[in-house]
C-alpha cells in the first residue's frame, strides 16, 4: 500500500498545502522534522494546524542532537556550502521514518516559483508530487487558503519571513536583530555556539576574528562578522532595512505586506534558502 506524506516546515506554504490536501487525501500523514532548535512561534503554529487538520502532526526527531553533529563535524558551523544540519536533522530522520515503504511525498512549491529546488529524495520508493504547481496555486492562492482556514500566517512573520532553526544561517542581518529583540535567550545561545567555534579555531574574541581576516562561513552564522559585531551595527542594519521597506512599499503597492517585507529583507541581504526547512 502506498503511503501519502506531507511535510510541514512551520512556514506559510507548507501549512497551506497541508490544509489544501486535508480533504483530498484522507489518509495523509503530516510530519514535521523537529530539530529541537525551532522558534516558539513555530510550535504554536503547528498546534493551530493540528486543530484545522483534525489530526496530529507527527514530529520526527533525530536520534542525535545538533550538539552531537556539531562535534562530529569538528566544530564547523553549518553553512550554505555545507548544510549538514539539513541532511542530518531533517532528511535523515524523514528517510528513516519512511524506510522502504512506497511513498508519495507532497511538497509545497508554488506555481509562481516553479524553478525553485525542493527536497526530492533519491530513494526509488519515494515519488515527489507538487500540487500547487499542478493546480496553478500561487502566493495569492496560498494566503487565501490560510485565511479561509482561519489560521493566517505564523507570528514570526512580524520580523522574519522564513521558518527554520533560531540560528539558521540563511537569516538576513535584520532577522538576526529581530531574533535578539524577540528571543534574546535564543540569540545568546546562537552567540555561544559561534564563540565556541571561534575558540576551537584559535580565535580569541571578536577583535582577533577581525585581525585574522576570517571570512569563511564555517566560523560565523552571519557572513563576515560575528553575531556580537552584527548587533553592534543594529542601528545601521535597521536603518537600511527601513529604507528598503519604504522603497518596496512605494514601488510594489499591490503586494501583501508579508511579500513587501520579504522583498525588503532580500534587498538588505539576499540569501536563497533550500526548501527543506523554509517552505
Count of CB atoms situated within 10 Å of the CB of 144: 12
Residue 108 lies in a domain: yes
Residue 279 lies in a domain: no
Query: Is residue 149 very low, low, confident or very high in pLDDT (cuts 50, 70, 90)?
Result: very high
pLDDT score recorded for residue 123: 83
Of 102, 129, 158, which residue constitutes the final position of a domain?
A: 158
Count of CB atoms situated within 10 Å of the CB of 50: 15
Residue 100 lies in a domain: yes
Rounded (5°) CA angle 181-79-160 = 30
What element of type H or E holds 129? strand 126-129
What does the alpha-carbon distance between residue 21 and residue 106 come to, in Å, rounded to a whole number?
9
What does the alpha-carbon distance between residue 142 and residue 207 come to, in Å, rounded to a whole number?
46
Query: If you average pLDDT over residues 176-197, what whole number do you get?
Result: 94
Q: Which domain holds residue 132?
A: 3-158
pLDDT-above-70 percentage for the chain: 82
- State the total domains in the chain: 2
Looking at the structure, tell me whether residues 86 and 126 fall in a common domain. Answer: yes
Which CATH number fits the domain that encloses residue 36?
Answer: 3.40.50.620
Please list the alpha-helical segments (H only) found in the chain. 12-21, 40-53, 66-72, 84-86, 92-98, 131-134, 139-149, 173-182, 184-200, 205-212, 227-232, 234-251, 257-268, 275-278
Looking at the structure, tell me whether residues 205 and 228 fall in a common domain. Answer: yes
Q: Which sign does the torsion angle of CA 122, 125, 131, 135 carry?
A: positive
Looking at the structure, tell me whether residues 154 and 247 fall in a common domain. Answer: no
**Beta-bridge partners for 128:** 105
> Cβ(9)–Cβ(38) under 8 Å?
no
pLDDT score recorded for residue 208: 67
pLDDT score recorded for residue 186: 96
Looking at the structure, tell me whether residues 196 and 70 fall in a common domain. Answer: no
Looking at the structure, tell me whether residues 136 and 178 fall in a common domain. Answer: no
Looking at the structure, tell me whether residues 185 and 101 fall in a common domain. Answer: no
Looking at the structure, tell me whether residues 131 and 190 fall in a common domain. Answer: no
Looking at the structure, tell me whether residues 97 and 177 fall in a common domain. Answer: no
Exposure on the CB side of residue 211, measured as CA atoms within 13 A: 8
Looking at the structure, tell me whether residues 198 and 224 fall in a common domain. Answer: yes
Exposure on the CB side of residue 73, measured as CA atoms within 13 A: 18
Looking at the structure, tell me whether residues 228 and 147 fall in a common domain. Answer: no
Query: Is residue 53 very low, low, confident or very high in pLDDT (cuts 50, 70, 90)?
Result: very high
Q: Residue 235: pLDDT above 90?
A: yes
Residue 168 lies in a domain: no
Q: What is the pLDDT of residues 75-122, one digit of tens each?
A: 788 888 888 888 888 888 999 999 999 999 999 999 988 776 555 667
pLDDT score recorded for residue 179: 96
C-alpha cell at 64: 542525535
Q: What is the pTM of this model?
A: 0.86
Looking at the structure, tell me whether residues 266 and 203 fall in a common domain. Answer: yes
Amino acid at each position: 500500500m502506498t503511503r501519502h506524506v506531507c511535510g510541514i516546515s512551520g512556514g506559510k506554504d507548507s501549512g497551506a498545502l497541508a490544509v489544501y490536501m486535508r480533504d483530498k487525501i484522507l489518509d495523509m500523514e503530516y510530519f514535521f522534522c523537529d530539530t529541537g532548535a525551532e522558534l516558539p512561534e513555530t510550535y504554536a503554529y503547528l498546534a493551530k494546524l493540528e486543530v484545522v487538520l483534525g489530526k496530529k502532526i507527527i514530529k520526527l526527531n533525530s536520534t542525535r542532537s545538533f550538539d552531537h553533529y556539531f562535534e562530529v563535524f569538528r566544530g564547523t558551523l553549518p553553512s550554505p556550502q555545507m548544510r549538514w544540519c539539513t541532511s542530518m536533522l531533517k532528511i535523515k530522520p524523514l528517510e528513516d521514518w519512511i524506510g522502504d515503504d512506497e511513498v508519495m511525498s507532497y511538497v509545497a512549491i508554488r506555481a509562481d516559483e516553479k524553478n525553485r529546488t525542493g527536497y526530492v529524495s533519491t530513494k526509488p520508493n519515494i515519488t515527489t508530487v507538487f500540487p500547487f504547481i499542478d493546480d496553478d496555486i500561487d502566493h495569492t492562492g496560498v494566503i487565501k487558503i490560510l485565511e479561509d482556514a482561519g489560521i493566517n500566517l505564523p507570528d514570526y512573520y512580524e520580523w522574519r519571513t522564513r521558518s527554520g532553526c533560531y540560528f539558521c544561517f540563511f537569516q538576513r542581518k535584520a532577522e538576526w536583530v529581530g531574533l535578539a529583540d524577540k528571543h534574546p535567550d535564543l540569540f545568546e545561545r546562537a552567540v555561544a555556539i559561534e564563540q565556541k567555534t571561534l575558540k576551537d579555531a584559535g580565535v580569541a574574541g571578536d577583535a582577533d576574528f577581525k585581525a585574522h581576516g576570517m571570512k569563511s562561513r564555517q566560523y560565523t552564522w552571519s557572513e563576515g562578522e560575528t553575531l556580537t559585531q552584527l548587533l553592534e551595527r543594529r542601528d545601521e542594519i535597521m536603518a537600511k532595512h527601513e529604507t528598503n521597506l519604504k522603497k518596496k512599499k512605494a514601488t510594489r503597492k499591490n503586494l501583501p505586506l508579508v511579500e513587501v517585507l520579504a522583498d525588503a529583507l532580500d534587498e538588505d541581504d539576499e540569501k536563497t534558502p533550500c526548501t527543506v526547512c523554509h517552505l
